[in-house]
A and B are shown apart, each in its own frame.
Chain A
């Protein structure tokens, strides 16, 4: 009988351009915060999972988990590095969950991090492009933004989504991030400035038509961390632990063009369904969601395919303000990938950190009042490997 698993500690580094620390420094910053928050001793950590997609390529370090175990003096804990592109964080949380649920380990640290700002943007873009289909996509010169752009164009044609909706989401996420001290971007943007005035042409230049600068997330340095243990154990550390109630993962075709309907994110649909089934919840039970808006179109598409809105209607909900902090279903109260930032290996863990804070009532000015259940979606590749999570307040 698998054990239930709870989050007893969480923490993150400040996200942004962190010239002050190397990758290990960022992993330590986040891990130290979550260990302190969990109030566990270092000798009590049985295993660590570290998620980082490009630690080898960009920081010349591949044994990242072994190194962190050493740096934090957690030896002789078990240590694994997890790599699943932008879903590395989610995969690390899933693996850690399975280890605790099975009884293999009791108390596990999960830390995800990435250092990416110290190299040229074109280099990072190229490394990220390696997650596309090598012969069908990468060889043609396709990059993630170009795949997202083709997806966006088709979505717009089919469902009537307009660039204005992408702008509204970016504006909302920037606004939320102003209340998140850890977020990368602390800058308000306006519809006039990025969309309606003619000068938006220069303020918000085209990256890959129809995606513009402000409809794509930034490149960010940072790390996020959680400590999990069995639910029974958790009562020693916290009166109201946050339960990881549901996990789902699914894969879809590697090449975007192989999908029967390229506007449907099947992996989001299936992974969400699995997570909700496991948690015995439904989308309408969710009070707050952290979605993977590497490109703002994904906040729309994921919210539909996860079951929160009918396919092709989320953009209307955005217009009505339903996904704002004070709306019916606040999405990305942290600022999302757009404004909290997207250190690739950290994101999946950072989403769990934000949900944990929200469900504990610790989210400060961006607190969604009365949040009891949260959902997160960590999107790997361009939708070919997705993890969904449902978290609940413990009682």
Chain B
């Protein structure tokens, strides 16, 4: 069995956020053991071409399965859970101790800025806990990405190809992370014991994009 962490692993302390609806979302790190359920949650999205959900799902599926089967190094996954249901997940990978590669963001429940909160949480994890100096970011879908570019002051890095298909890489530097943190990164810690427990054995739900956009 090969080691999947050669960059020392640093856990993400769970936090809780209030969504526009008043729902409380727990954001916590997923363990390797939870990957089979995450794959189950993502699998239906392989048939959703709208907004590149299918490609994002296919790539994320491979990344998580690769982690599970010890064929991907230094990968992390954070999940968002509301009322015991999995509403979103994000993943990334430490390339080395200074560089993090941001991989994917999937919002299973939409219309509540879940993707935005989880994207921010993953950058928070990389900079503040994993100690990255820089994060490479790209996106399959322009929706959301154009906003991220501006909101996070992403800098283009034309000489580098992102590992996702050789797409243009944009960089979130440690400096820009802290500059934008107050407008992007939110949540309260610690999470109460009850809420945390409820988030542990999450239920897999049907993604909103497959039910026709809810609004």
| Direct contact between the two chains A and B in their complex (CB within 8 A) | yes
Chain B's interface size range is 20 to 34
User: In the complex where A187-B111, A189-B22, A214-B20 touch, is A202 in contact with B215 (Cβ < 8 A)?
Assistant: no
A17 within 8 A of B: yes
A203 within 8 A of B: yes
Q: Of the candidates A184, A187, A218, which one forms a contact with B21 in the assembled complex, judged by CB atoms under 8 Å apart? A: A187
B186 touches A188 (CB 8 A): no
A202 touches B21 (CB 8 A): no
* Minimal beta-carbon separation of A266 from chain B (angstroms): 34
A192 touches B22 (CB 8 A): yes
Which chain A residues lie closer than 8 Å to B186 at the CB level? 197-199, 201-202
Chain A's interface size range is 20 to 34
Which chain B residues lie closer than 8 Å to A188 at the CB level? 21-22
A199 touches B21 (CB 8 A): no
Closest to B116 in A: A202
A-facing residues in B103-117 (Cβ within 8 Å) = 111-113, 116-117
* Minimal beta-carbon separation of B69 from chain A (angstroms): 35
Q: Of the candidates A185, A198, A199, A204, which one forms a contact with B215 in the assembled complex, judged by CB atoms under 8 Å apart? A: A185
A19 within 8 A of B: yes
Docked complex Cα distance between A362 and B90 (Å): 47
Most interface-central of B20, B120, B184, B213 (chain A CB within 10 A): B20
Per-residue contact bits, chain A 10-28, to B (CB 8 Å; 1 contact, 0 not): 0000001101000000000
Which chain A residues lie closer than 8 Å to B116 at the CB level? 202
A-facing residues in B86-118 (Cβ within 8 Å) = 111-113, 116-117
Which DSSP category, helix, strand, loop or mixed, fits chain A's interface? loop
B212 touches A193 (CB 8 A): no
Which chain A residues lie closer than 8 Å to B113 at the CB level? 202-203, 205
Q: Please count the residue pairs between chain A and chain B whose beta carbons lie under 8 angstroms apart in the complex.
A: 57
B19 within 8 A of A: yes
B212 touches A199 (CB 8 A): no
Docked complex Cα distance between A203 and B183 (Å): 11
B187 within 8 A of A: yes
A203 touches B19 (CB 8 A): yes
Docked complex Cα distance between A205 and B17 (Å): 16
Which chain A residues lie closer than 8 Å to B20 at the CB level? 189-190, 193-194, 200, 203-204, 214
A199 touches B17 (CB 8 A): yes
Most interface-central of A19, A189, A201, A202 (chain B CB within 10 A): A202
Q: Of the candidates B112, B187, B213, B215, which one forms a contact with A203 in the assembled complex, judged by CB atoms under 8 Å apart? A: B112
A193 touches B215 (CB 8 A): no
A193 touches B111 (CB 8 A): no
Can you identify 30 A-B contacts, CB atoms within 8 angstroms? Answer: A17-B213, A19-B212, A185-B215, A187-B215, A188-B21, A188-B22, A190-B20, A190-B22, A192-B18, A192-B22, A193-B19, A193-B20, A193-B21, A193-B22, A193-B23, A197-B18, A197-B186, A199-B17, A199-B19, A199-B117, A199-B186, A199-B187, A200-B20, A201-B183, A202-B117, A202-B120, A203-B19, A204-B20, A205-B113, A218-B215
- Interface residues in chain A, defined as those with a beta carbon under 8 Å from any beta carbon in chain B: 16-17, 19, 184-185, 187-190, 192-194, 197-205, 214, 218
Across the A-B interface, the 9 shortest Cβ-Cβ residue pairs: A190-B22, A199-B186, A203-B20, A193-B20, A197-B18, A193-B22, A203-B113, A199-B17, A202-B113
